[in-house]
Chains A and B, each alone.
Chain A
Amino acid sequence: MTTAAAIEVNARSIRRIALSHKLSRWDVRFSPYLYISPFFLLFGIMGLFPLLYTAWVSVHDWNLIGGQGDFVGLENFATVLSQGYFWTSLRNTFSIFLLSSIPQVLMALGIAAVLDFNLRGKTFWRMGVLLPYVVAPVAVALIFNDLFGDKYGLINSAITGLGLEPIRWHVDVIPSHVAIATMVNFRWTGYNALIFLAAMQAVPRDYYEAAIIDGANRLRTFRSITLPLLRPIIIFVILTSTIGGLQIFDEARMFDNVGQGGASRQWQTLTLYIYELGWNQRNFGRASAVAWLLFLIIILIAVLNFVITRRIAGTADRKLRVRAKGIS
């Protein structure tokens, strides 16, 4: 009797222990997901839903004011792909993206390397490079438009003063892209430089000391220590600037007073094209189709970017390891 009761009690406490065990195991296993779930819930509402809704709109006739029309399947995609302006704006998007992202990352690296030295008034210089980032893009565009005026702009005044032909910023394709890329770079270089700087500060100083004792100069330490250790951050910066670079809108829209990217669409980006279709022509179906095409392009480029940078990083890791072995 007593033994039976004891066994009963025992079994219950074992069960209780088992339960609390299970709970704590669940806690360990599931809590992290619970903690990050707000982001994904929000993302679902603010990101995923619009994404799917845009897809829904893109297969319909859809007027900005009139709303939903007939289901047309992939006709919007077909029409858009057959239009010259789509391809022009695709070309412009890539051209402006390359003209902005590449110099931007290189300059940011350079600036970060200089800021990493022991400068007097560190905070002043660091805040200084971030200042352009605080300025609203529209304000940047207004200031730069004074520089890039075709007839009365500052740059062209200087050029014609030297007796050269003025640059037709708002007429020729490449100059307009350079001008827009300059505005983008002005705004984002400092921001990226600070990210690089933070990563550089995390590099242990003894690496540099060891290298300098071995007779390496500044350039050499930068190439062989700083850059390899910065690779994950470089990948991050390249990815974010790719996503941003393919969506340039404000600077291109503010580049002239019409805001459609030029009379021959010299600097119309894909986002501007979406705006023209949606708000000027009020054809939301086609605008959504281009939005989706842009989405696919960005994913494609991001994946490509990732694969390439990882491959580069991979070989570099191996090299570093080999070199490390050689040293020891």
Chain B
Amino acid sequence: MNWIKTENNKKINALEIPTISIEQMRSDLKEMKLRPVGFFGKQEFENVRLYVTLADDKQGKLYISSVLFTPDIKSYNSFTQDISQLHIFEREFYEEFKIEPKNHPWLKPLRKNQDEYPFFTMQGEDVHEVAVGPIHAGVIEPGHFRFMCQGEKVYNLEIMLGYQYKGIEDLFLKNPDNRLAESVCGDSVIAHNMAYSQVMEALSDTKIPERAQIIRRIALELERMAVHIGDMGAIAGDMAYLMGASIFGTTRTLVINTMLEITGSRFGRGLINTGGVNFDIDFEMSDKIRNVLDEVIKIVEKTTKTMLKSSSCISRMERTGTVSTETAYALGAVGMAARSSGINLDSRFDFKDRWYEKCPWEEDFKFTGDVYSRFKLRYKEVKQSARFIDDLLEELKDYEDGLKVPVGNLIRNAFVVSITEGWRGEVVHTAITGANAELIRYKIKDASFNNWYMLAMAVRNNGISDFPLCNKSFNLSYCANDL
């Protein structure tokens, strides 16, 4: 098979990526049965080259190949019919390059042209339509939700996004910068910045100090803890469970204030730079972090236990917003939401990362795919992250090799895929450099991009009043999807 095999954060020669025919691509996709993590086009003079990146999560390998579309090819038979996980990728590709995937089951605008969005409608006397957004009650991002309901029951939810579209991928070409990477998604500052830095370091053959690697991972786990605890509070708040909402809310503050002490920003802005990190965690700080996290874990354990003993909370969460393993798999779900539906994907462990190997996922998680499952998984991940941080702080003592190194120039004609496990799921950054060693294509894929459809499936046949709870249990990002 004509695919180039590579690894996470490893540079390959972009010119060596094979070009195969559309039919060959189709049969390869069917045969290899791997998970697509990248499916994007790049303009090459008048042609369009479609790069496809597949992840072999069991072996921790990536496979890359490409298809060339000459200007006379205006359409092709969509891959989605065979590989359903590609549904959202093909919509994106169509929107950008106007090459139509024929017989695509749901070929609708993804980010642009919302004025002409063809909504799914239902006919019948009992059916009523509820339109929510793009401006919502509360301080959240814009997005439009269209429900088709019978009474209180939701038949279908259609999610129309794109209000945050700002062309951030093109901004990277003009001005590649860590501060820009931090702004991709406000609640995954560390994850996106880490992915960006890894891409740039691989593109310039920079090897950063081990101490910086450890500090990056500590920050990543702190971010995961903070958001998970905040979301647990938000789930409690949506159920009007006051105690959970207020206690988790204050506990999250302890975590982000720790981040503030390390980096000067509660969300970790300014910590990671290409070539290393800007701030050190010294001995004193390590102790401080440990003490705070001990307290945090104690509070989280106690509150979660109280909450899961309350029958009113359990009754709200159980069997609400269930996504079956089959549905999650068919949609190509990733990250925390996929794990709570029984798909074991975690790029921290799937793509060998020597810092995570020492502290693997030990506890068995019994998934049910509902809000309860997502709540419980967050709880487990918070505890796990605290353990990671503890281990990483221990490791930190042994590495005194500085914080950052100067970054070299970019290497020409290189192709790098970097996958980082943010709290929501995998954050995939792909970059290609051209003949003059400049960036010619930058592609970002956040976990939200895959998972928004999970939310649409989760609320089917649920009460419309349970939608906010389902939504909060996923807590997907609008801006990381709209880019």
Task: Indicate, yes or no, whether A interacts with B.
Answer: no
Q: Which residues of A does B touch, CB under 8 Å?
A: none
